[in-house]
Amino acid sequence: MSELKEELKAKLIEQLNLEDFEVSDIEDNDPLFADEGLALDSIDALEIIVLLEKEYGIKLDDPKKGKDIMQSVQTLADFIEKNRK
Amino acid sequence: MDVMLPYTLKNMSKVIKELIIEQGLVQLNGETFFKGDTNETVTFLKSLYKHIGLKYGKFFKMDSLCKLGFLATEILLDGVEDIKTETDEVALVFANASSSLNTDVNYQNSIAEIPSPAVFVYTLPNIVIGEISIRHKFYGEHMFFIQEKYNKEELLKYTDSLFAETQTKFAVVGWLEMGMNNEYSAQLMLCSK
């Protein structure tokens, strides 16, 4: 799990062009969409959905679940662990 | 550039500053402002961003056309105390030949797999106007023309009409080109009424 979280942080930085961040800057429970965290926006949320499908083969069928899944790297990793093919 | 600044055009626009970004070189009012180590678009624009000491994370998400226009405008507006944020008195009037073709092709290529929403949002040339407006909270007049070649006179004529007929007091006007192969040219003026 810890390996997956580090991998996810690196993929988020690369996919979302977060050039001001290093993997070590992101804590597992930092909020992804709040200013005190990564301050992502709605387009980033769509990119995360693409990332889940492309990298882990997971389709987010119910967009309403997105809010809970994308709270932090920890919640994303939990979701991937449970659903990846 | 052999003209003296500021100069007044035959109608109303007074050109306060002029900026050219081409071939890894930034010239402000005819003098070298920055020379990059490379002419390569992505690396050069990143080095220019660092040179002007900006901290604006969203910059890295922009496509190359937006980065070019965004940085050019930042340099032009720097130190102009009469221009406030949250204003409708600043107009943005740009033109180019390639529209957003560079990003359009990137997006088309991404369709082969899963299309990228982050690339898709830049598949219009006038998104650069939005990025500048968000940064400075400009709510004024704006226009992005597509023309074969830079027609400075025509753009200034249009700007004159904005000065005459709208609340516009300042305008960033000029050419912002990002070609198919990332070849770039920014030739912008800061004008006042």
A22-63 pLDDT, tens per residue? Answer: 999 999 999 999 888 889 999 999 999 999 999 999 999 888
Q: Where are the alpha helices (DSSP H) in chain A?
A: 2-15, 42-56, 66-69, 73-83
CATH of the domain at B100: 3.40.47.10
CA distance B133 to B86: 9
pLDDT in tens, B125-158: 999 999 999 999 999 999 999 999 999 999 999 9
Bridge partners (DSSP) of residue A36 are: none
Q: What is the pLDDT of residue B38?
A: 94
Residue B186 lies in a domain: yes
What total number of domains does chain B contain?
A: 1
Give the dihedral of Cα atoms B69, B72, B76, B78; nearest 10 deg. Answer: 100
Closest CA to B20 of B12, B8, B11, B28: B28
Return the exposure string of B27-64: e unless at least 16 CB atoms fall within 10 Å of the residue's CB, then b.
Answer: bbbeeebbebeeeebeebbbbbbeeeeeeeeebebbbb
DSSP state of A85: -
Q: Express the helix, strand and coil content of chain B in percent, nearest 5 each.
A: 35, 25, 35
A34 to chain B, any CB pair closer than 8 A? The answer is no
Judge whether residue A82 has pLDDT over 90: yes
* Tens digit of each residue's pLDDT (9 = 90 or more) over B54-100: 989 899 999 999 999 999 999 999 999 999 899 999 999 999 999 99
B112 within some domain: yes
Min Cα distance A16 → chain B (Å) is 7
> B90-96 and B142-146 as β-strands: parallel, antiparallel, unpaired?
parallel
Phi and psi dihedrals of B27, rounded to 5? -115, 125
What would the pLDDT profile of B11-34 be if each residue is shown by its tens digit? 668 999 999 999 999 999 999 999
A19: contact with B, CB 8 A cutoff? yes
User: Over chain A, what is the mean pLDDT?
Assistant: 93
Whether the CB of B119 is below 8 Å from some CB of chain A: the reply is: no
What's the number of CA atoms in the CB half-sphere (13 Å) around residue B71? 33
- The pLDDT value recorded for residue A61 is 84
Domain-embedded: residue B1: no
In a domain, B120, yes or no: yes
Range of the domain at B174: 7-192
**Average pLDDT estimate for B152-181:** 94
Whether residue B6 is preceded by a cis peptide bond, meaning omega within 30 degrees of 0, is: yes
Give φ, ψ of B190 to 5 degrees: -100, 120
CATH of A2-83, one of 3.40.50.2000, 1.10.10.10, 1.10.1200.10, 2.40.30.10: 1.10.1200.10
- For A53, the closest of B114, B117, B121 (CB atoms) is B114
Note the ipTM here: 0.83
Query: Is the per-residue pLDDT at B189 higher than 70?
Result: yes
| C-alpha triplet B142, B143, B146: angle, nearest 5° | 160
pLDDT tens string B34-51: 999 999 999 999 999 999
Say if B69 falls within a structural domain.
yes
Reported confidence tier of residue B1, pLDDT bands at 50, 70, 90: very low
Contact criterion met (CB below 8 Å) for A18 and B60: yes
Q: How far apart are CA B62 and CA B70, in angstroms?
A: 9
Strand spans (E) along chain B: 7-8, 14-22, 25-28, 31-35, 90-96, 142-146, 170-178, 184-192
On whether any CB of chain A is under 8 Å from the CB of B116, the answer is yes
Residue tagged 């949320």 (tokens) = A45
Interface test with B, best of A14, A41, A48, A50 (most B CBs within 10 A): A50
